[in-house]
Structure 1
Amino acid sequence: MMAIQNPYNQYKQNDVMTASPENLTLLLYNGALKFAHQGKIYIEQKNISKAHEAITRVQDIIQELNVSLDMQYDISQNLRALYVYILESLLDANIKKDTAVLDEVIGMVTELRDTWKEAMKIVKTKK
């Protein structure tokens, strides 16, 4: 017997599978922000295991962004340093269950995401 798949999950899976590399990066930034906000909420609720899961998901996303950098570009060196800093901060936030550190991470990732969106717009207008 075949299980019925949740239509929303199917849509999201199709969205990821058909996304351009630029849109995948945007999806990753948005996912990192979603899980960072969840982690903050779980810390405030004293739900340590859920906070750990959420922060670990952010770490996984940032690690994926880090390893996917094309190091032939100068900007990649700067992004790598920033991603490493974010990863270290997430580790600290997870160990200490510190919402202030998560706020800093959320600010940095939001800025990266917004810059990425702006770059996508500029490239789109030049085509």
Structure 2
Amino acid sequence: MINTLDFSKRLQKVIEFYDETASSFAEKIGVQRSSISHILSGRNKPSLDFVMKVLHSYPEVELYWLMNGKGEFPKPQEKEQKPIQPQLSLNEIAQTASKSSEIEKIIIFYKNGSFKSYEN
């Protein structure tokens, strides 16, 4: 269950981090100013739609941090993995492996779970 008071403190932190007013924040995420006021005061709990609008408009906000305080804000920047560029063409690699086979696709998997696909 979400703690409304703690949620409102985290929401206030987001608003202050981006140097927004409650009105400008409401406008940016597409809700009425009164919705922000009611959530910040603890009168109302945030809806799923409200939370999703915050996450969509402010990608640096982590869902788990916003909802229950676990995680970090702002979200740590993921280090961009630079894909390894093959020095040979796919056909050259295929010819090296076997004269009769042709490579259709090469997929490189990174430790962070991302991947890059190269197709012939």
- Which TM-score bucket, shorter chain as reference? 0.3 to 0.5
Higher relative contact order (CA 8 A, sep 6+): 1
Question: Per residue, is there more helix in 1 or in 2?
Answer: 1
Question: Per residue, is there more strand in 1 or in 2?
Answer: 2
Give the TM-score of the pair, scaled to structure 2. Answer: 0.32
